[in-house]
Chains A and B, each alone.
Chain A
């Protein structure tokens, strides 16, 4: 196996593992690597170079899609640190569970109200929470002592919850603002 297929996603881009990452710098690295590795560059090459190119370009796409989004980057980082998040975590702290229930109730009310301004304010609030969690996650993982990681996992679960909430907001938003059909109006 060659170096690229062996490397972790960060090393593939020549980066040190870490949550803090400049996504536009990542994109430029991705673009330059893809210009070099993409199968379109190997149409006339030998069979094994063509095969390698497909594998490496696929790996690169996968790595880029994971690292370019903060939530998947956080998950990947935890996996690298030996603490893979669970799909149904059992040890969530009780305050967070209560907060989840309250937020979902608030969201259901807002959804029924269909008031754009209220919805937007709610969305801004969730975004602020995501940012706060991300800052905390960054600090906890930057000094990745063994003791710092368990809290980082908890922070991850909170980030994940807020992200899902944001997705719901966006889905609702696009449903509400879906353009009326110009042909049936």
Chain B
């Protein structure tokens, strides 16, 4: 580990070196990784030249899981241990997805529990762990191609993912040992890839139909800023549902009953998938099934038949489109372009429906399977600091309203859907009984009025409210959503200043101890030690704190600090550098915190200074005392 020297005022920091940053599209059907190569985003292929990694994980006893093509090839022969489409379950419970459970050939451990786990030969596996395997496989691919582990990743998620699904994805990345720079919405990533490619200013609709999720976003792109005006979708609708519909049709045509053995059921889905893909190119397809009751079955389906079979599914995407257009407050005629994303948009019926709905032919110039990963790579490159002069900015929104349960099982919205993030919103509540000392808060996400129709994210209790008459206490509940779209909630009794703060951990996700257990399991496999990893992460954190502060000092230290303040920070910085050479966890943590403490004023002055310089080009009102135009 090299330590940065503290730069003297006026001296420039270390010469700029490009850092390894990648964008990962963690998809339902397949996943891929991209990076910037000579100023252009490009996908990274494996040793055999394959870009798309099937999102399929096969577990075997006493050996590492297999991810990708060979896992997919084993689906029919080993259906129980080969997990596909786990993205549909991430951050959810089985009873939320009746379709998945009904047609699933998997076995679950405690199917009733909040967190579904697949029963496999390697033990119970959660969708979070299986996703971590996929992320790990992509990180290894990036490592081989870039000559080292990625230093930061941007992972894309469907725009319509709720807080639990986002949190679960972030947990998967943590288990895979990745440094997540940002969770980025898939349609926004696609718009970035298109926007920068074409320089297209204006208002765009992105229609993203993937393997398991549907999103539509309306964005304005102007002077480097991508501003999401509205987003809508369905996080359980995609190519998988179309495959299942076609598989059912084949099953009926071939005279198969409903009670099929797992391997055949899995085989039917794969067969349906290839027939579906064929129908995007051809007007009709022959279907051959060896395992029909009378032996080999030969059939044929025309595109017209197929379209009739799936039209209601395609139709289901149109009402979110209407909602997004309404919420964006724009007219159809104000749209500049419509962009298609996701493998399922290859189907002619989908293209026709989109064209008719938006009244213009959609754009498909960039491969709909790759465009999201390419956009994520562009954003990763900027976030990690490889492009200090870039003025690109993404302003995204929350897809679903956030609220609190009130009396009578009703949901009170605190932050409406399509609020720009990061966002903060506070609301005051009071006690309803004399002498009430606790207040339970139930955090919800969704648009419905009744609590039971919305997603329950967390429950927590503010305790120790001083006894007062009913209605006298003033309890301020603050919702904060960060740039990853992740929520934290805090509550404070205003009159006495009692605070109870929680980071909302969604009920259907994992608790910290469960994540810890999965981390340990993942590292056991990799022959790593938990303690070593924790120490390494701590040291890295300290190193980053040193590096960040040294850079800030060399830029603004002499301007914003007097010599006493500077000396105090320098001393604290030197101390952390020294302690970080050793391996005393507690001491490193304490010294990192001390450095933070001592440089708080500096951080605030730098922020104020940034505000001043951002407004420098604009007229500034005299009263603010910051000078004027």
Residues of A within 8 A of B (CB): 2-4, 7, 10-16, 25, 28-29, 31-40, 43-49, 52-59, 61-62, 64-65, 174, 178-179, 181-184
Taken together as a complex, chains A and B put the C-alpha atoms of A3 and B419 apart, in Å, by 24
| Candidates A40, A64, A181; contact of B393 at CB < 8 Å | A40
Closest to B541 in A: A47
List of A residues within 8 angstroms of B383 by Cβ: 40, 43
List of B residues within 8 angstroms of A47 by Cβ: 545, 596
Tell whether B562 is near chain A: CB-to-CB under 8 Å. no
List of B residues within 8 angstroms of A55 by Cβ: 422, 424, 480
List of A residues within 8 angstroms of B223 by Cβ: 31
Binds A, one of B255-263, B311-319, B362-370, B405-413: B311-319
Taken together as a complex, chains A and B put the C-alpha atoms of A33 and B393 apart, in Å, by 11
Tell whether B47 is near chain A: CB-to-CB under 8 Å. no
- A14-B615, A183-B353 as given contacts; A44 in contact with B326, CB under 8 Å: no
Taken together as a complex, chains A and B put the C-alpha atoms of A22 and B423 apart, in Å, by 24
Q: Give the contact-size bracket for chain B.
A: 35 or more
Taken together as a complex, chains A and B put the C-alpha atoms of A15 and B624 apart, in Å, by 8
Q: State how many angstroms separate the Cβ of B262 from the closest Cβ of chain A.
A: 34
A54 touches B544 (CB 8 A): no
Closest to B479 in A: A58
Q: Which residues of B295-324 are within 8 A (CB) of A?
A: 311, 314-315, 318, 322
A44 touches B357 (CB 8 A): no
B384 touches A34 (CB 8 A): no
Inter-chain pairs besides A16-B622, A34-B395, 12 sampled, C-beta below 8 Å: A14-B618, A37-B614, A40-B382, A40-B383, A54-B483, A55-B424, A61-B395, A61-B421, A62-B425, A182-B353, A183-B311, A184-B315
Closest to B422 in A: A58
Max count, chain B CB within 10 A of own CB: residue among A46, A56, A61, A178: A46
Q: State how many angstroms separate the Cβ of B342 from the closest Cβ of chain A.
A: 19
A37 touches B182 (CB 8 A): no
B596 touches A16 (CB 8 A): no
Q: B411-445: contact bitstring with A at CB < 8 Å (1 yes, 0 no)?
A: 00000000111111100000000000000000000
Residues of B within 8 A of A (CB): 152, 181-182, 223, 225, 311, 314-315, 318, 322, 326, 349, 352-353, 356-357, 382-385, 391, 393-395, 419-425, 480-483, 544-545, 547-549, 552, 596, 599-600, 603-604, 606-608, 610-611, 613-615, 617-624, 626
Taken together as a complex, chains A and B put the C-alpha atoms of A62 and B623 apart, in Å, by 22
- A33-B615, A174-B326, A179-B357 as given contacts; A14 in contact with B621, CB under 8 Å: yes
Q: State how many angstroms separate the Cβ of B420 from the closest Cβ of chain A.
A: 5
| Candidates B152, B318, B596, B611; contact of A48 at CB < 8 Å | B596
- When A and B form their complex, what is the total count of cross-chain residue pairs whose Cβ atoms lie within 8 Å? 153
- A174-B326, A182-B356 as given contacts; A54 in contact with B480, CB under 8 Å: yes
Q: State how many angstroms separate the Cβ of A93 from the closest Cβ of chain B.
A: 30
List of B residues within 8 angstroms of A35 by Cβ: 225, 391, 393, 614
List of A residues within 8 angstroms of B614 by Cβ: 32-33, 35-37
| Candidates A10, A46, A58; contact of B549 at CB < 8 Å | A46
A56 touches B603 (CB 8 A): no
| Candidates A39, A48, A181; contact of B483 at CB < 8 Å | A39
B423 touches A58 (CB 8 A): yes
Taken together as a complex, chains A and B put the C-alpha atoms of A166 and B282 apart, in Å, by 50
Q: State how many angstroms separate the Cβ of B485 from the closest Cβ of chain A.
A: 12
Q: State how many angstroms separate the Cβ of A69 from the closest Cβ of chain B.
A: 10
CB-defined A-B contacts under 8 Å, sample of 9: A38-B422, A39-B483, A40-B182, A43-B383, A49-B548, A61-B419, A62-B424, A179-B322, A183-B314
The 10 closest A-B pairs by CB, nearest first: A182-B356, A14-B620, A58-B424, A2-B604, A36-B614, A39-B483, A58-B422, A16-B621, A46-B548, A14-B615
- A44-B544, A179-B357 as given contacts; A14 in contact with B424, CB under 8 Å: no
A25 touches B618 (CB 8 A): yes
List of A residues within 8 angstroms of B315 by Cβ: 181, 183-184
| Candidates B349, B607, B622, B624; contact of A37 at CB < 8 Å | B607
Taken together as a complex, chains A and B put the C-alpha atoms of A62 and B206 apart, in Å, by 26
List of B residues within 8 angstroms of A45 by Cβ: 548, 552
List of A residues within 8 angstroms of B391 by Cβ: 35
List of A residues within 8 angstroms of B619 by Cβ: 14
| Candidates B393, B483, B599, B610; contact of A46 at CB < 8 Å | B599
- A16-B623, A184-B315 as given contacts; A46 in contact with B603, CB under 8 Å: yes
